[in-house]
Structure 1
Amino acid sequence: MTRPWYNILGGRYPGSEPCFYDSAALPWTKVLEDNWEVMRDELIALMEARPAQVRPYFINHAMSFPPRQWKTMGLSFWRFTMHANCRRCPETMRILKTIPGVTSCSLSILEPGANINPHQGDTDAIIRCHLGLVIPAGLPDCGFQVGPDIRAWEQGKALPFCDAQTHTAWNHSQARRLIMIVDVIRPEFRPQQNWVCAHVLASSVIQMTYQSAPFLNNWPGFVKRALYSAIRIAIHAYLPLQRRFR
């Protein structure tokens, strides 16, 4: 059985997934594109109604330059659901429920003059898709690079890619860039979906813990691995108990 790759193990992504996927081979991208204005309007209304929910990328605030200029507001994060936000976006939720294997959905905001530093995502078990909502400029001022391939976002267009590949983004325009990020688990990994989500959520908890308590970096590696394993098992047990995103 094919095993997902997880960033918690470290090292460059060794897999063969393409940098960008062909939207024509992913019918669910058309669902997003056909409904993008409805989802844009709900997400912007949510952002304006609940500004405190718009926060700098929470795992590593230094991921963007200048710092804290890459911001997010979530509906679901690896099947962990933000129910208050979801209730304010009923049409968006209805649309997403028609797409099998959705694990995450969020609004991503890149402020004017900001860059997102090159990084790898958490796993190759999902296809991550950027849906352009408000794109203030095209290339070269505003763009996205995965591996050696550079693309421009377009309003109302889906841009699916492999999050495990090294990627970076920039917005050198004078206005905010808004996209919706949707993660869809690859069909071959759907039987493992809760384990995939538990792995990634556990990794996020570990990263935030080590950032808030740097002295933990002095602990032996086996302690970190044991802590990661315990958190992953606890999250896997919890996920089926929460009120489902779907």
Structure 2
Amino acid sequence: MSADGKGFSDLRRKKIKKVGKRLFRGSLMDFLSSQSKIPDTPVLDNALFPWAENLRAQWPVMRDELDALLERRAALPSFQEISPDQARISTDDQWKTFMLWGFGTRMDFGCELCPQTAAALEQVPGLSNAFFSILGPGKHIPRHRGVTKGLVRCHIGLRVPDSPERCLIQVDDVDCAWEEGGMFFFDDTYPHEVWNETDGYRAVLLFDIERPMGMPGKAVSRAMIAALRRTGYFRDALANQRAWEERYRAAMA
């Protein structure tokens, strides 16, 4: 693509993103909130998700598969390499990712390398996104918000430094510290911020699920996600993911 073409594409994506955020965070967000079958709070009780404990209990095998990936940590992509929109909150190489699902699309390469994690995730109702999220020492992710109330986010701690007061996420005004084998759910449309002020690495399994809602809300949310999948926000990220997979596969050969 020419420089002019890329510039036009970037401008179009920014415009679409701006309009999309205005739409998702306006009346549609209020509508989805009204349709929710669970509380509209920053952090949610694990007991609201009956399947969660069975998933959480499988964290040791998830960590084993993560550890195998971390042997080649430098080769893992930074988040903004896959999703350029993340460059507004992270520009260095201290936030690494390893994708397993993206807006309902199974990333076969990632799932082949992490078959037990993939098998566990396949049992999760309404799974949308899933990836290993790895923060390097000293990493800070500034305050930001997700775009849709139609999803709920979960973290399962896999590798966590020993200092919980120096490695945490704040969702709205609620501080959540990770624990290895611990799990918590939160609504990422609330402003949230992340710190790893330690010398160690923090790694979690991050995944998004459909928010339990009444049928009108569920239908609207799914239509919103389907529309998002047709934009550069998703399509560019998918292309970047496929390109990275090819490079990684070649390096492994």
In the superposition, the TM-score normalised over structure 1's length comes to 0.72
**1:131-153 deviations in Å (ceiling 9; x for gaps):** 10001133321111000111111
Partner residue, 1:205: 233
Shift of 1:17: 1.7
Kindly tell me: are residues 140 and 202 of structure 1, through their superposed partners in 2, closer, same or farther at Cα, counting changes over 3 Å? farther
- Say if 1:9 and 1:52 are closer, same or farther in 2 by CA, change over 3 A: farther
Distance apart, 1:50 and its partner CA: 7.9
- 1:206 and 1:106 mapped to 2: Cα distance? 15
Which of 142, 147, 168 is the equivalent residue of 1:143?
Answer: 168
Question: Is 1:86 matched with 2:111?
Answer: yes
Mapping 1:1-246, distance limit 5 Å: 7=21, 9=23, 17-48=40-71, 52-57=75-80, 58=83, 59-64=85-90, 67-188=92-213, 190-191=218-219, 194-202=222-230, 205=233
Residue 187 of structure 1 aligns to a residue whose secondary structure is coil
8 Å CA contact 1:122–1:200 kept in 2: the answer is no
What SS does the corresponding residue of 2:164 show, helix, strand or coil?
Answer: coil
Residue in structure 1 matched with residue 251 of structure 2 by the alignment: none
Deviation at 1:93, TM superposition (A): 1.6
TM-score by length of 2: 0.70
Q: Which moved more, 1:128-137 or 1:89-98?
A: 89-98
Q: Which residue of 2 aligns with 1:219?
A: none
CA distance in 2, matches of 1:10, 1:25: 24
Query: CA–CA distance in 2 between the matches of 1:94 and 1:10?
Result: 32
RMSD across aligned positions (CA): 2.8
- 1:143–1:151 CA contact under 8 A, matched in 2: yes
State how many pairs are aligned: 203
Distance 1:89 1:206 in 2: 23
C-alpha displacement of 1:61: 2.3
Q: Cα–Cα, structure 1 residues 23 and 203, in superposed 2: closer, same or farther, change >3 Å?
A: farther
Deviation for aligned residue 1:49: 5.6
Distance 1:27 1:11, change over 3 A: closer
Q: Which letter does structure 1 place at the counterpart of 2:149?
A: D
Contact 2:76 2:96 in 1 (8 A): no
Report the CA distance shift for 1:10/1:185 in structure 2 as closer, same or farther (over 3 A).
closer
Greater share of helix? 2
Counting aligned pairs with the same residue, the percent is: 32
Note the C-alpha offset of 1:176. Answer: 0.9
Q: How many Å separate the matches in 2 of 1:157 and 1:11?
A: 30
Structure-2 separation of matches of 1:129 and 1:165: 14
Structure 1 runs of 4+ with >3 Å offset: 10-16, 46-53, 189-194, 199-204, 206-209
The answer (yes or no) to whether the contact 1:8–1:122 under 8 Å persists in 2 is no
- Change over 3 Å in CA distance of 1:11–1:185 after alignment to 2: closer
**2:140·2:196 contact (CA, 8 Å) conserved in 1?**
yes
Tell me, what secondary structure is at the counterpart of 2:44?
A: coil
Q: Identify the range of structure 1 (79-88 vs 147-156) with the bigger mean alpha-carbon deviation.
A: 79-88
Segments of 5+ residues of structure 1 without an aligned counterpart are 1-5, 210-246
Deviation at 1:192, TM superposition (A): 5.4
1:140 counterpart SS class: helix
> Residue deviations 1:164-184, cap 9 Å, x none?
111011000001110110111
Q: Which runs of 5+ in 2 are unaligned?
A: 1-19, 34-38, 238-253
Match of 1:238 in 2: none
